[in-house]
A = this chain, B = another copy of it.
Amino acid sequence: MKMNRYQADERGYYGEFGGAFIPEMLYPNTEELRQNYLRIMGEPDFQEEFRQLLRDYVGRPTPLYFAKRLSEKFKARIYLKREDLCHTGAHKVNNTIGQILMAKKLGKSRIIAETGAGQHGVATATVCALMGMECIVYMGEVDIARQAPNVARMKMLGAEVRPARSGSRTLKDATNEAIRDWINNPVNTHYIIGSVVGPHPYPDMVARFQAVISEEIKWQLKEKEGKEDPDYVVACVGGGSNAAGTYYHYLDNEQVGIIAVEAAGKGVDSGESAATSALGKVGIIHGSKTLLMQTGDGQITEPYSISAGLDYPGVGPMHAHLYKSGRADFIAITDDEAMAAGLMVSQLEGIIPAIETSHAFAIFDHRTFKPDDIIVINLSGRGDKDLQTYIDYFKL
């Protein structure tokens, strides 16, 4: 077995995917990052501050919780990795803590970010408040409407939320706007991308910051089950950052099955979907070669999902590679399936998941497991931001 088959190579490629397809205007910014990120991340004082903030500020380690009632229902040993308990309510903050420290090391004073569900925007606004940095968050107009609580949170935290009014007015368009801002502010600004997308070195850097998730799963599972390796790790995939973190330390251990859950929206073939692996072809989005939903003509398609955080037409290059290589099992879950799963988890375990996460709980109608299979599902975020959507959907 060759090691590191599923990690980025030096040039930021995962198999045929990845790289840095960026306008020259962005070259200095990404180059500065590329040349420094591994060195900075390796510095003891960086690691110390990163770890200390993850512990004292974010609340890590997050628990690995044995979900008794879910396990009984689906006849398997189901563990939940509780990223919903992170400060700000999702895994996103692992990455923003890392990147804000990176930005400080690089001498930046201004932070920009894009956001879909608003979780990454909140996580970015949070670390900017913590470090006293200026913060501008781009967010699609549609998402601003459907994720109002997170917009409010960003404002409370002192961030400016700028609406993206082009295209589908969702995550992809917010990302375009953020990139434009970065082009216009190449010297003092660091762009905190919120997932394992974008040009090299972002996918690798973000994956490394999120890797703390599987780092913890390993020793936590060892404590609980006497072994580090579950039979399956499961995560929802929007851009793919929570999934990357969940899989990271298991990527090259083929004993561990990898399940990636995408948003089928109203159905993979309905024309209103965000199931990138099923619907995508190789293409370039936001500086990265990856699987991409697009027209035959290469225009990027407007995706659809009830969950703002999965409503993205691409997927991180790591995941494109996991799909193409067959390393991961991709499952597409519809809006309806996800919503039902979200309600089920709420009422069985007392945990209201983010709608993104709810997709990951809907796999049990699609795959069967053995009673002694150990399944770790990453509970990437809490559903507070989605209450209105749940309420409207279920007419509660």
The interface of chain A, by Cβ under 8 A from chain B, is 55-57, 59, 62-66, 69, 82, 84-87, 89, 125-130, 132, 149, 152-153, 155-158, 343, 346-352, 383-384, 387-388, 390-391, 394, 396
Complex Cα distance, B130 from A19, in Å, reads 46
Residue among B65, B129, B391 making CB contact with A350, cutoff 8 Å: B129
B-chain residues with CB within 8 Å of residue A384 when the two chains form the complex: 89, 149, 153, 384
Contact A129 to B346, CB < 8 A, known contacts A59-B59, A157-B352, A387-B156: yes
Nearest B residue to A93, CB-CB: B350
B56, B84, B156, B396: the one within 8 Å of A396 (CB):
B156
Contact of A69 among B132, B352, B387 (CB under 8 A): B132
Say which residue of B86, B155, B347, B388 sits within 8 Å of A157 (CB atoms). B347
Residue ID in chain B nearest A54 by CB atoms: B63
CB distance from A83 to the nearest CB of B (A): 11
Copies of this chain, count: 2
A88 and chain B: residue at smallest CB distance: B350
- What residues of chain B lie closer than 8 Å to A87, measured between beta carbons? 82, 84-85, 351
Give A274 Cβ to nearest chain B Cβ, in Å. Answer: 23
Task: Tell me the bound Cα distance from A350 to B89 in angstroms.
Answer: 13
**A391 cross-chain contacts in B, Cβ below 8 A:** 152, 155-156
List 26 A-B residue pairs with CB atoms under 8 Å apart, sorted by A's residue number: A56-B64, A57-B350, A59-B62, A59-B63, A59-B82, A59-B85, A82-B87, A85-B85, A89-B384, A127-B350, A129-B347, A129-B348, A129-B349, A149-B149, A149-B384, A152-B387, A152-B388, A152-B390, A152-B396, A153-B387, A156-B347, A156-B383, A156-B387, A156-B391, A156-B396, A384-B384
